[in-house]
C-alpha cells in the first residue's frame, strides 16, 4: 500500500510521475484524465516474514489539472476500484475484499486527493489525503520525471509518470493477522506502492 510521509514502491494510484517541462513553443493542456487501460497501481507486502506477495489494481480513474507551467498549483484526484485487486489467487483476493481488509462492499473505492506539490531535483513530491477502508490519512507520493507525448511537436496530448510510496495497513484499520509458530506474523504491516499513470488531454487543443 504506501509508506507514511515518504514513498517507496506498491498499492495503488502512478498517480503521476516526475516532470519534464515542455519548451516555450509547447503548450500543455490544463485538464487531463487518467487512462485506466494504460495505468496500473501495484503493491507488495511481506508474507509469513519470508516471501513477498505482489498484487495490482486494474481499474483506476481520475483527473489532473496542470497547465505545464505552475506545478505547485497542479491538482490531482484519483480513485481505484477495490474489487479490481489481483494477487494471482482468487481465495486471497476474496479475503482482501472482505471486512478483514478492504471491506469493498462498504468502501468500494480507494481515493487520493492532492494537497501540496513540491518540486525537487529529480522530480517532485505530492502530498495529499489517501482514503482506504473508510479511513483518511496524509501520505506523500514521490514522483519522478514527467514524460510528455503528442500527436505533433506542438501539442502534447499525453503525459505519463510513476510515483511510489509506502503505508502501514493498520493505519487504515486493516488489523487482521495470524501469528506464526515462530512468533512472527502471517501478513506484514508495511505495504509498498507503485503507481504507473498515463493521462490524456481533455482540452481541444491537446487532442
d(CA 56, CA 50): 20
**Residue whose grid cell is 508495511:** 190
Burial of 66 (0-12, 13-18, 19+ CB in 10 A): buried
Q: Please give the pLDDT value at position 96.
A: 94
Eight-class DSSP state of 90: H
Cα 78 to Cα 62, 121, 128, 190, 197, distances in angstroms: 4, 25, 11, 22, 11
Quickly list H helices, the chain. 90-97
Measure the CA angle with vertex 10, ends 142 and 167; round to 5°.
75
CATH-assigned architecture of domain 31-206: Beta Barrel (2.40)
Q: Do 38 and 59 meet the contact criterion of CB atoms below 8 Å apart?
A: no
Gyration radius of the chain over CA positions: 18
**Residue whose grid cell is 487501460:** 37
- The alpha carbon of 44 is separated from its chain's Cα centroid by a whole number of angstroms, namely 13
Q: Please give the pLDDT value at position 11.
A: 36
Q: Please give the pLDDT value at position 158.
A: 86
Eight-class DSSP state of 53: E
Taking residue 145's Cβ as centre, other Cβ atoms within 10 Å add up to: 15
Question: For every one of its 207 residues, what pLDDT tens digit does the chain have, with 9 covering 90 and above?
Answer: 433 443 333 333 333 333 333 333 345 558 899 998 889 999 998 865 577 899 999 999 999 998 877 888 899 999 999 999 999 999 999 999 999 999 999 999 999 999 999 988 888 999 999 999 999 999 999 998 888 776 555 556 888 889 999 999 999 999 887 765 554 556 788 999 999 999 898 875 444
Instruction: Find the length of the chain.
Output: 207
d(CA 105, CA 120): 39
Q: Do 60 and 40 meet the contact criterion of CB atoms below 8 Å apart?
A: yes
Q: Please give the pLDDT value at position 204.
A: 57
Q: Do 57 and 40 meet the contact criterion of CB atoms below 8 Å apart?
A: yes
Q: Do 177 and 187 meet the contact criterion of CB atoms below 8 Å apart?
A: yes
Q: Please give the pLDDT value at position 187.
A: 79
Amino acid at each position: 500500500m504506501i509508506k507514511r510521509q515518504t514513498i517507496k514502491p506498491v498499492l495503488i494510484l502512478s498517480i503521476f510521475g516526475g516532470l519534464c517541462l515542455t519548451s516555450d513553443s509547447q503548450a500543455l493542456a490544463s485538464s487531463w484524465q487518467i487512462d485506466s487501460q494504460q495505468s496500473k497501481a501495484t503493491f507488495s507486502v511481506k508474507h509469513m516474514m519470508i516471501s513477498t506477495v505482489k498484487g495490482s489494481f486494474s481499474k483506476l480513474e481520475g483527473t489532473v489539472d496542470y497547465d505545464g507551467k505552475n506545478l505547485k498549483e497542479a491538482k490531482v484526484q484519483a480513485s481505484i476500484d477495490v474489487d479490481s485487486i489481483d494477487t494471482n489467487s482468487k481465495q486471497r483476493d476474496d479475503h482482501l475484499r472482505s471486512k478483514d481488509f478492504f471491506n469493498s462492499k462498504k468502501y468500494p473505492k480507494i481515493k487520493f486527493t492532492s494537497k501540496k506539490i513540491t518540486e525537487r531535483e529529480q522530480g517532485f513530491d505530492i502530498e495529499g489525503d489517501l482514503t482506504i477502508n473508510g479511513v483518511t490519512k496524509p501520505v506523500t507520493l514521490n514522483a519522478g520525471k514527467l514524460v510528455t507525448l503528442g500527436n505533433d511537436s506542438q501539442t502534447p496530448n499525453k503525459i505519463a509518470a510513476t510515483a511510489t510510496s509506502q503505508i502501514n495497513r493498520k493505519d487504515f484499520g486493516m488489523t487482521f493477522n495470524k501469528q506464526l509458530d515462530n512468533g512472527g506474523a502471517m501478513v506484514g504491516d508495511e505495504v509498498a506502492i507503485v503507481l504507473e499513470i498515463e493521462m490524456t488531454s481533455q482540452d481541444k487543443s491537446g487532442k
